[in-house]
Amino acid sequence: MTRTIYPQRQHKHQLGLSLVELMVTLAITMFIVAAAGYVYLGTRESQRAIDNASNSAEAGSFALQQLGREIMNAGFYPSTMPPITSYFNTMRRADGYPPAVGVPVRATDWIAPNAVYLAPIFGCEGAKFNHVDGTCGTTVAGAPDSIV
C-alpha cells in the first residue's frame, strides 16, 4: 500500500470578518433595535393614554367639586351629605362651611348669614336687593328682578 503524501498546508489565522458574517451580525442587530423601538413606542403610547385618562378624571373631579361647592354656597345643601365630624384647618370663613360638629365656633369659622340667605333662592321682583339689611328695594313696574 502506497501512501500519497500531500504537502502540508500552512493555516493562516483569519484577521477580520467575512462579508457574510458582517451581514448576519447587522441583520441580527437591526432586528434587536427594531424590537426595542417597538417596545419603547408601545410603552410611550400606553403612558400617554394613562396620562390622558388621569387628566380627564382629575378635571372631571375638580369640575364636580366646584359645581358641588357652588350649589352648596347657593343654599342647596344635599340631604345625603354626612355631617362634618372633624375640624380641618383649611375650613375657614371663605369656604362657606359651618364649623364641625362638637367644635366651638372660632372667630375665623363660618358665621351664620342673614336670615334671607338661609333660603335656597331669594329674589326681589322688580327691585334691587339690599345686601346690608337683606331686604328688597321699592318695586318698580318693568324693572329687572334680582335673584340672590
Eight-class DSSP state of 109: S
Backbone dihedral region of 80: left (phi > 0), alpha (psi from -120 to 50 degrees) or beta? alpha
- Cell output for 76: 342647596
pLDDT at 72: 74
Which of 80, 100, 82 minimizes the C-alpha distance to 90? 100
Q: H-helix or E-strand containing 81?
A: none
Extract the residue ranges of the chain whose pLDDT is less than 70: 1-12, 14, 75-103, 105-122, 148
pLDDT at 97: 53
Amino acid letter, residue 6: Y
